[in-house]
Copies of this chain bind each other. A is one copy, B any other.
Amino acid sequence: MSQRSALMGPALRMGGLVLALVLLVVVGVATGGERFWSTGNLITVLSLAAVTGVVSIGMTFVITSGGIDLSVGAVVGLASVWASTLATQYAAQDYGWWVIVVTALAVGLVAGLVNGALVAYGKVPAFIATLAMLAAARGLAEIIAGRRTQVIRDVEPFFDVFQSRPLGVPTIVWIFVVVAAAGWFLLNRTTFGRRTVAVGGNPEASRLAGIKIKRHTLYLYGIAGLTAGIGAVILLARTTAGSSTHGTLLELDAIAAVVVGGTLLAGGRGTITGTVLGVLIFSTLTNVFVLNNLDSSVQAIAKGAIIVVAVLLQQWFAAREKVTST
């Protein structure tokens, strides 16, 4: 029985989210009909989800370990700017489109590692360290870009790659799928994932069991930074430009998706599947709102209500899970 509940548990816990998503889709079909339920529109929903989605995967790791990263949005902005400076663009013209990608990823990674070092070795609370990074990364991005939007020109291969549609699905959606799958695997099937959950559940016990929690924390924020770098690449592909305003408030969307998905903000339990569902819920919501031509203020209220309902549904399913497993 305990075996069964261990298997059923996560599925049931996801139940509330899946139900919320299904309800949204029903509303979408009812109000938008074919305009909602068309391949084109579904791809639009997924494309919109890609940036938040990728960043949320990294965020899931950080939150599972009991931390938080408020800087991801700003780091997306910084990475997008750095990867679209004239210098980078010239280099990309000379050496290949990958220069842009590598630059964005490297900027994201380094920013993440700085966060990680501050949290792990400087013992600065994660909230503070990443808030400081938020401010600093935005400032730096503005200075680099001179507050101008930097359009990427004459690096056609970059767009050829990232704006293509293998099997009819945009590359950026594939990137989201791959990152999510890799994240799921990393969290659930590897020692790295196990350590992440352990550190979040009880850092002192993990330390005393011989886990190098500082180094691990460093890596975790590195991952969050790296996914922010990937997010920047996706945004560059979508907007053809880098800007210091890219990713504004993205951190809130990402955290909301992760927490609505069922990852504990206190750490110790994380679910990539839940995060993906959370991201899809928010992105479908935006889409359904647009289809219904809803006033943005009403949207905001509806959004608040829907978040609460999704969580209450989850609670209800969790309670049912307990009852059925006895």
Residues of chain B within 8 A of A260, CB atoms compared = 128
Q: Does A134 count as interface, using CB distance less than 8 angstroms?
A: yes
Closest residue on chain B to residue A143 by CB atoms: B297
Q: Is A138 an interface residue (CB 8 A)?
A: yes
A305 CA to B297 CA in the complex, in Å?
36
* Chain A interface residue count, Cβ-Cβ cutoff 8 angstroms: 44
Q: State whether A140 and B301 are in contact (beta carbons under 8 Å apart), knowing that A122-B308, A128-B259 are contacts in the complex.
A: yes
Closest chain B CB from A164 CB (angstroms): 36
Q: How far is B259's CA from A297's CA once the two chains are assembled, in angstroms?
A: 31
Q: Mark A289-314, 1 if CB is under 8 A from B, else 0.
A: 00000011111111111011001100
Mask for A122-145, Cβ within 8 A of B = 1, else 0? 111101110111111111101100
Complex interface: chain B residues within 8 A of A266 (CB): 266
Identify the interface centre among A139, A299, A304, A312: most chain B CB within 10 Å of its CB.
A304
**A281 contacts which chain B residues (CB < 8 A)?**
none
Shortest Cβ distance from A200 into chain B, in angstroms?
A: 12
Q: Is the CB of A139 within 8 A of B298?
A: yes
In the complex, the answer to whether A265 meets B139 with C-beta atoms within 8 Å is no
Please give me the residue from chain B that is nearest to A315 by CB atom. B123
Q: Looking across the interface, which residue of chain B has its beta carbon closest to that of A135?
A: B304
Minimum CB–CB distance for A196 against chain B, Å: 18
**A72 interfacial contact with B, CB 8 Å:** no
Q: For the complex formed, measure the closest distance between the CB of A186 and the CB atoms of chain B, giving whole angstroms.
A: 24
| Max chain B Cβ within 10 angstroms of own Cβ: one of A255, A259, A297 | A297
Contact partners of A307 in chain B: CB under 8 A: 128, 131-132, 135
> In the complex, A266→B140 CA distance in Å?
31
Q: Considering the complex, give the chain B residue whose CB is closest to the CB of A265.
A: B127
Shortest beta-carbon distance from A323 to chain B in Å: 16
| Residue A11 lies at the interface, judged by CB distance under 8 Å to chain B | no
Tell whether, in the assembled complex, residue A304 and residue B259 are in contact, meaning their CB atoms are under 8 Å apart: no
Q: Is the C-beta of A256 less than 8 angstroms from some C-beta in chain B?
A: yes
Question: Could you jot down 5 A-B contacts, CB within 8 Å?
Answer: A129-B311, A135-B300, A135-B301, A135-B307, A136-B301
